[in-house]
Structure formats: C-alpha cells, structure tokens
Amino acid sequence: MIDIHFHCLPGIDDGPSTWEEAVELCRAAEAEGTETIVATPHVMRDPWINEDRAERDRLLVRLNDLLGGKPAVVPGCEMFFSSDVIELWEHGNAGPLVGLNRGTALLLEFPTYSVAPQAEWILHELSVMGVQAVIAHPERNAELARNPKRLASLVAKGAMTQITAASLLGDFGRGPLAAAEDFFARGLVHIVASDAHSIAERPPRLAAARRWAEQRWGTAATLEIFATNPKAVTHGVVAV
C-alpha cells in the first residue's frame, strides 16, 4: 500500500518528537503492508510553518537512512489552505505531495469548520497549472460534512479527496464516518490514507480501514481507493 498522508518527520509538527518515535511509527505502517509513505508535515499552519523545504528534505534523508529504505519515505507536505497557495507553489515553498520527480500533487487542509469562499477558484487555477490538489480529510470538515454539494463543487474544479482511515473505523465519532459514507455514495471518495501521527494516539490503521472498505464498499472500489488512485497520484497521473 501507499500512504499519502503521514506525519513522520520528528520535531516539526504534531507528529513524532524523536527519531525513535518516527522509526517506530513507520515500522508500524510497514508491518500492516505499507510499502511507501509520503511524509506530510504541516506547512503554513500555525504554529507549524515549515516553509523551508530543504530542511524538510534533510529530515527525510535521515529517516530513510534509519529505516534502511523499508518502508520508503518520500517528500510531501500538508499545506494549510490560504489565498497565497498558488504563489507558494510557484516559489517552491509548498513542496509536492510526493517526491517522484518532485511530484505535481499537493495535499491541502482546510480549517476544521469552514472552507474559504475562493477555494473553487484557487483549485481551478492549480488544475490549470498542472497541480493535482488533494483535499485532506474532508469528512472532518464541518462545512463539507454538512454540505456535500460544496465538496462536489471542489471536485468539479479538479480536486481529489483523501479520507482518513480512522474515520472509517469510527475513531473520530459517528459524524465523520457518516460523512465519509455519504461522500462515497456520491462518488466523492478517491483515496484513503492514515494521517498517522503517533503510535499511542494516531497510529497508522490503513490495513484495518481497507478491510472495512472491502466489506462495505466492495472489492473494486477498495482497490481503486487504496491502490490505484494513490499510485496514480504518486506517479503524477491524474486519477479522476
């Protein structure tokens, strides 16, 4: 499996604090079948700015050395949505979602309770630029969960969606799970990723979520959401 949303670089956001914790978290993902992890530290989200891509890459190189290449960890970020996302991308500060040829996809996080009025326009502009926007955990966004037509509007502008594995397993409560199921019924679920942060509180539960999806959504949809689409995104291929 490929996990496109994973907080594993130590000491730069609310993920692991130490190298030991970072390695343990990645090993846990490997144990459940994840072969490639996209390291997605928060960028431009207070108090985690992390706009120095070179520093993020330095941490990534060391983590891969400690892991011996298994699982493989590739560079990315979880960019907090703002009106200057396009400018940050153009200047190279945003960084890609994944590092195969530095990638052309960008994981975007909206505030917990809202979506900016200009979101459709910005997503359209990113699409025109050849950037594949991926909306992180829309099922945990209050506005999108309440108004799935707004999410459909964002997808119509070229975005993909990434649902959190733990949401499917009920870890965030009934609301996100119900929203994820509603999104799926509307054809608005494209990728499931772990959004792992720590072994104790936010472990990688991608394998369990895949089993859940297999039972609820069927084999064909599960293959697309857990394998085909993540692979397409990481290789720079628009999957929807």
Over residues 105-160, the pLDDT tens digits come to 899 999 999 999 999 999 999 999 889 999 999 999 999 999 999 999 999 999 99
Using the 8-state DSSP alphabet, how is residue 84 labeled?
Answer: T
> Which tokens belong to 86?
């396009």
Neighbour-count burial for 79-92, b at 16+ CB within 10 Å, e otherwise: bbbbeebbebbeee
Residue 69 placed within a domain: yes
pLDDT for position 33: 97
| Cβ 163 vs Cβ 183: under 8 Å | yes
Contacts of 65 (CB under 8 A, 6+ apart): none
CATH number of domain containing 52: 3.20.20.140
Domain enclosing residue 215, as ranges: 2-234
Residue 24 placed within a domain: yes
Residue 114 placed within a domain: yes
pLDDT for position 24: 98
Over residues 72-93, the pLDDT tens digits come to 999 899 999 988 888 878 777 6
Over residues 156-215, the pLDDT tens digits come to 999 999 999 999 999 999 999 999 999 999 999 999 999 999 999 999 999 999 999 999
Residue 170 placed within a domain: yes
Residue 50 placed within a domain: yes
Lookup result for tokens 């689409």: 229
CA distance 192 to 136: 10
Residue 111: name the closest of 66, 90, 142 by CA. 142
Residue 213 placed within a domain: yes
* pTM of the model as a whole: 0.93
| Cβ 167 vs Cβ 176: under 8 Å | yes
Cα angle 73, 119, 193 (rounded to 5 degrees) comes to 30
Query: How many CA atoms within 13 Å lie on the side-chain side of 115?
Result: 27
Give the count of domains, the chain.
Answer: 1
CA distance 158 to 196: 26
Residue 56 placed within a domain: yes
Using the 8-state DSSP alphabet, how is residue 227 labeled?
Answer: I
Residue 240 placed within a domain: no
pLDDT for position 18: 98
- Neighbour-count burial of 19, counting CB atoms closer than 10 A to its CB (0-12 exposed, 13-18 middle, 19+ buried): middle
CA distance 75 to 238: 19
